[in-house]
């Protein structure tokens, strides 16, 4: 199902874990976001486990699969509205004012976004602050936190 005006464009760059992608798909349906996956994927999209994590919502998902980052990047009309989430910067997601249609980029579970990509878009990169002793959050949790902070800013209920 294609959304006419998605709340956000969620981008997973080379995701590796099918359950995370399935959960993010379900979150995308529930928040009216479009999900973009950048290949290579660490699983087959037809894998029943991906769809199981997304429950029966997978058929309602607005999903686009891109062959590589540059193919996806060519689809982003306003490049200033792209945000890159990483543990490797000081600026937090609370330092940005999100707008409907923004692009939210997340990296693979084991390594995150490539450092060259973070450097290329450093002014648009943010972290989710965590005072505890962990290196990072689960990818599906990080996406949810970011989407719901955007919704809070936009005063969605």
**Fold held by 8-154:** Alpha/beta knot (3.40.1280)
User: How much is the pLDDT for 53?
Assistant: 54
Which region holds residue 55: left if phi is over 0, alpha if psi is between -120 and 50, else beta? left
107-144 CB burial, b ≥16 within 10 A, e <16? bbbeebbeeebbeebeebbbbbeeeeeeebeebbebbb
User: How much is the pLDDT for 49?
Assistant: 62
User: How much is the pLDDT for 50?
Assistant: 60
Whole-number mean pLDDT of the chain?
Answer: 92
pLDDT tens, 52-88?
Answer: 655 577 789 999 999 999 999 999 999 999 999 999 9
Give the integer Cα–Cα distance in Å for 150 and 127.
14
Work out the average pLDDT over 138-155. 96
Share of the chain above pLDDT 70, in %: 92
pLDDT tens, 17-62?
Answer: 988 998 999 999 999 999 999 999 998 876 566 656 555 777 899 9
Q: Is the dihedral of CA 36, 38, 44, 49 positive or negative?
A: negative
User: How much is the pLDDT for 106?
Assistant: 98
User: How much is the pLDDT for 44?
Assistant: 80
């Amino acid at each position: 199902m294609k959304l006419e005006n998605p709340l956000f464009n969620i981008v997973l760059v080379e995701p590796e874990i099918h359950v995370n992608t399935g959960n993010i798909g379900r979150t995308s349906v529930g928040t009216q976001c479009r999900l973009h996956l950048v290949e290579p994927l660490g699983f087959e999209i037809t894998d029943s486990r991906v769809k199981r994590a997304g429950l029966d919502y997978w058929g309602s998902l607005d999903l686009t699969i891109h062959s590589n980052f540059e193919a996806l990047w060519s689809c982003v009309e306003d490049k200033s509205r792209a945000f890159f989430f990483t543990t490797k910067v000081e600026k937090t997601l609370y330092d940005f004012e999100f707008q409907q249609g923004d692009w939210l980029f997340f990296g693979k579970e084991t390594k995150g976004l490539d450092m060259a990509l973070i450097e290329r878009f450093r002014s648009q990169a943010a972290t989710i602050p965590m005072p505890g002793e962990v290196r990072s959050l689960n990818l599906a949790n990080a996406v949810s936190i970011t989407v719901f902070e955007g919704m809070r800013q936009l005063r969605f209920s």
